[in-house]
């Protein structure tokens, strides 16, 4: 199937599919921004003199596991809230890809669904294989 045919078939999706996918991006971005801005303000208010020194370890490392994040959120740690905001920001495009996969599968767009599945697998590879290597 050539690119023109793929574009024509994609136009067959109902308008509600595009609205839903756009809503996923808007809600995800708004959630992430609220979390990040609020947590950054709380962090700066809590410890205005605390800065990054040459030997300082990244404070969010304690919150990269589920138990650490839940414990930090329960304690009201601004760094845990910042970490949750970053997670929300990363999850937004992943959810957008999943919503695209849902709509393409639902409408019988097999080639587009296969393409979106490939994108989803690459996102997962980057998050869970390459991401830990960078840390």
The percent of residues above 70 in pLDDT, for the chain, comes to: 83
Tell me the C-alpha distance between 73 and 84, whole Å.
Answer: 9
Answer whether 80's CB lies under 8 Å from 67's CB.
no
**How do residues 21-79 score in pLDDT, each as one tens digit?**
889 889 988 999 999 898 888 888 876 566 555 556 777 888 988 999 999 999 999 99
Going by pLDDT thresholds of 50, 70 and 90, the confidence category of residue 88 is very high
Asked whether the beta carbons of 55 and 41 are under 8 A apart, the reply is no
> How do the domains of the chain map onto residue ranges?
12-48+58-134
Quote the pTM value: 0.69
Three-state SS for 52-110 is CCCCCCCHHHHHCCHHHHHHHHHHCCHHHHHHHHHHHHHHHHHHHHHHHHHHHHHCCCH
- Per-residue pLDDT averaged across 101-110, rounded? 90
Please state, in angstroms and rounded to a whole number, the distance separating the CA atoms of residues 122 and 128: 10
């Amino acid at each position: 199937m050539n690119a023109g045919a793929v574009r024509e078939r994609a136009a067959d999706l109902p308008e509600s599919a595009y609205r839903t996918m756009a809503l996923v991006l808007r809600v995800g971005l708004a959630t992430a921004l609220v979390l990040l801005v609020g947590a950054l303000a709380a962090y700066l208010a809590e410890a205005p003199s605390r800065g990054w020194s040459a030997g300082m370890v990244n404070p969010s490392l304690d919150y990269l596991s589920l138990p650490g994040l839940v414990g930090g959120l329960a304690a009201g740690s601004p760094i845990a809230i910042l970490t949750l905001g970053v997670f929300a920001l990363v999850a937004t495009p992943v959810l957008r890809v999943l919503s695209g996969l849902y709509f393409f599968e639902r409408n019988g767009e097999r080639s587009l669904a296969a393409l979106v599945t490939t994108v989803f697998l690459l996102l997962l590879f980057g998050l869970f294989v390459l991401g830990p290597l960078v840390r």
